[in-house]
Structure 1
Amino acid sequence: MNWRRLGAIMLKELRQMRRDRITLAMIIGIPVMQLVLFGYAINLNLRGLDAVIVDQAGTSGSRALVMDMLATGVIRPTQQAATPQEAMELLRRGRISVGVVVPSDFERRRVDGREAVQVLVDGSDTVVQSAAIQLAQMPLDSSTYVSQLTGAREVTPRQIGVVSFYNPERRSAVNIVPGLIGVILTMTMVLFTGVAIVRERERGNMELLIATPLSRSELMVGKVLPYAVIGLVQTTVVLALGLTLFRVPIRGSVLDVYLAAVLLIFANLTLGLLISTKAKSQFQAMQMTFFVFLPSILLSGFMFPFAGMPKLVQWLAEVLPLTHFLRLIRGVMLRGAGLVELWPDVLALLAFTVVMMTLAISRFRKRLD
C-alpha cells in the first residue's frame, strides 16, 4: 500500500466532488432538508381542520357549545351551510374535513340525555378521523357554565356522536392505496424522462437527432408520449391489486380516475424533461429527481396530514403535483366526487404541465454543447 498514491486518489475524489455541484448539494442539502421537514413541517397534532358549523338550534347553549369546540383549535369554519345535506355535499367535494351539526331540538336532547350533536367527518383520512373523535371527547367547559346558569343538563362527550363517512372501518389501505398511484407515478415518470435527453447524449444518439428535421417541440413531446402509456399501465396494475387484495372501493367514475392519472403523468413527465435539460449525466438526473421525490412524499399529504403543516410549508406543497393529485384521486375513488367538482386541483395540474413544458422546450437546444 503506497500511502502517497492513496492520498492522491483521495484528493482527486474530493476535488471532483467539489466541482460537481449536484453531489455537493446532496451532501449538504439532504440532511438539512430532512431535518427541516421532519422537525418543522411534519406535525401529527392536527389543528385548523376545514369545517362547517350547522347550528339549527340557535340557542345560547348551542352557541356556547360551538364556541367551545372552536376554542380547541382543532377545527376552523371555512364554509357555510344551512342544512346537514349541504354539509354532506361540502364533505363529499373535499371542501371541508369536519362538519358540526346541532339539531333544532338540541335543548330537549340535552335535557333527555340523548345524542345532541353530530360531528360529520371525512373518514377517508384516518388521521383526520382520529382528530374528530378526540374533539368529540374533549370536556366542554362552556356547556358546563351554561348549564349552571339555566339549570339544564350539560352536554357530555357521550352526547356528541361522530359519524365517519367513506371509511367507517378505519382501514389504512383505503387511504394509502389511492395515494400509492401518485407516489409510483411521481417516482417513475420523473425518473424516466429525467434521464431521457441525457441518455441520448451519452449514447451518441443526439447527433442523429440533430441531423433530423425534428423541431424542439416535436422531439420533447415525442419523448413524453410513450412514457404516458407506461404510466397508464402502472395505474391499472395498482388499481387492480387494490381492488382484489385490499378491497379499496372506486365510488366515482373510473374514467375520472384515469383522467386524474393522466394529469399527474404529464405533469411529472414535463418536470422530468426540465430536469433532463439541466443534468449533464444520468447520475445527476437521478440525484435531481431525489430532490423532487422526497418533498413530494413528505409534504403532499400522503404520509403525514396536510392540515398539520405550517402555512408556509402548505404553500410550498401546493407547487407539488402530487399534492393536487391526492386530492383528486381520493375525492373520486373514496368520496365519489367528479373532476368537475374538484376543478381547482385540475387547473393546478394543467398549469404546472404547461409551465414545465414551456421551460423544458425553451432550455433545450439541438446542439451537442
Structure 2
Amino acid sequence: MNAARTFATAGRVLRQLSHDPRSIALLLLMPSLLVGLFAWLFNDQPGAFDQFGGPILALFPFILMFVITSVTTLRERRSGTLERLMTTPLGKADFIAGYALAFGLAAIVQAIVTVGFAVLVCGLEVTGPIWQLGLVAVLDALLGTGLGLLASAFARTEFQAVQFMPVLVFPQILLGGLLMPRDQMPDALHAISDWLPLSYAVDAVNAVAAGDEGWDLGKPLVVIAGVTILALGLAALTLRRRTP
C-alpha cells in the first residue's frame, strides 16, 4: 500500500462528495434528524431518551455509512471507474484505504454534528465525557464503512447492495442489545450476539453513559476497531475491478 496513492484516492472521493449535496445532507443531517425524532417520541417519558439515546447514536451512523459506502463503491465499479483506476499503479489496498480515510473524515464530522445535536438540543445526558461518546460514534461509522466496502464486493447492483442490510445489519439491531439487554436474551441468542460487532458498539455507548472506564470501555472499542480493520482487509482481497 502506498500512502501517496491512498491520500490521492481519499482526496478524489472527498471532491466527489463535495459536489453531491444530497449525500452531504444524508451524511451530516439525517442522523441528527432521526435522533431528534427519537427524542421527540419519548418527550413525555422522563429518562427514556437518556436510556435509549446513546445506543441510537451508535446505530444511525453505522447504518448510513454502510448504505452510502456500499452503493458508492459499487457505482464506481459498474461505471468502469475502478477498472480504469486499476490500470494505473493504484492497488486494491490503496483504493480501499483511500475510501476508508475519506469516509472516516466524513464520519468524524458526522459524529461531531450528531453528538452535539443530541446533547445540546435534545438534552441527552451521559455520565462519561462527551468526547468518548463522539469516539464511539466515529468508530461505529467506520465499522459501517468497512462492512459496506466488504458488501459492495459481492453485489452486482445498488439494489443488491442494499439487500445486504437484512443479512448484515438487521440481525445486529435485533440482537445487539438495543431492544433488550443481552444478558436477558435466551442463551443461544446471547451467544450469537457475542459475535456481532454492533453488540460491542451498544456496550461501548452504555459504558460511556454509565461513566465506566478501563477495560469496560476499552474492550468494546478494541473489538469494534478490530472488526473494522478485518472488514477493510477482506474488502481489499475481494474487491473486483468490474461487475460481470
Equivalent of 2:93 in 201, 213, 217: 217
Query: 1:44 — aligned with what?
Result: none
314-323 or 243-252: bigger deviation = 243-252
Task: Summarize the Cα distance change of 1:248–1:319 in structure 2 as closer, same or farther, 3 Å threshold.
Answer: same
Equivalent of 1:304 in 180, 203, 220: 180
Contact 1:339 / 1:346 at 8 angstroms: preserved in 2? no
Task: Summarize the Cα distance change of 1:183–1:368 in structure 2 as closer, same or farther, 3 Å threshold.
Answer: closer
Q: TM-score scaled to structure 2, two decimals?
A: 0.74
Partners of 2:132 and 2:119 lie apart in 1 by 17
- Once the two structures are TM-superposed, the CA of residue 339 in structure 1 deviates from its matched residue by 5.6
Contact 2:103 / 2:142 at 8 angstroms: preserved in 1? no
Q: Which amino acid aligns with 2:210?
A: R
Aligned residues: 200
Gapped runs of 5+ residues in structure 2? Answer: 1-44
- Once the two structures are TM-superposed, the CA of residue 368 in structure 1 deviates from its matched residue by 6.0
Q: TM-score scaled to structure 1, two decimals?
A: 0.50
The yes-or-no answer on 1:183 pairing with 2:59 is yes
Query: 2:227 — aligned with what?
Result: 352
Gapped runs of 5+ residues in structure 1? Answer: 1-168
Query: 2:69 — aligned with what?
Result: 193
Partners of 2:137 and 2:51 lie apart in 1 by 17
After superposition, the C-alpha distances for 1:122-144 in whole angstroms (9 at most, x for unaligned) are xxxxxxxxxxxxxxxxxxxxxxx
Query: 2:41 — aligned with what?
Result: none
Query: 1:338 — aligned with what?
Result: 213
Partners of 1:202 and 1:368 lie apart in 2 by 6
Contact 1:173 / 1:248 at 8 angstroms: preserved in 2? yes
Query: 1:292 — aligned with what?
Result: 168
Query: 1:272 — aligned with what?
Result: 148
Partners of 2:52 and 2:192 lie apart in 1 by 22
Query: 2:106 — aligned with what?
Result: 230
Query: 1:329 — aligned with what?
Result: 205
- Once the two structures are TM-superposed, the CA of residue 246 in structure 1 deviates from its matched residue by 3.4
Query: 1:316 — aligned with what?
Result: 192
- Once the two structures are TM-superposed, the CA of residue 188 in structure 1 deviates from its matched residue by 0.6
After superposition, the C-alpha distances for 1:309-341 in whole angstroms (9 at most, x for unaligned) are 112111221222221111111211x21223654
**Which structure's CA Rg is the greater one?**
1
Query: 1:128 — aligned with what?
Result: none
Partners of 1:295 and 1:341 lie apart in 2 by 24
The structure with the largest strand share of the pair is: 1
Task: Summarize the Cα distance change of 1:219–1:264 in structure 2 as closer, same or farther, 3 Å threshold.
Answer: same
Task: Summarize the Cα distance change of 1:368–1:194 in structure 2 as closer, same or farther, 3 Å threshold.
Answer: closer
Query: 1:257 — aligned with what?
Result: 133
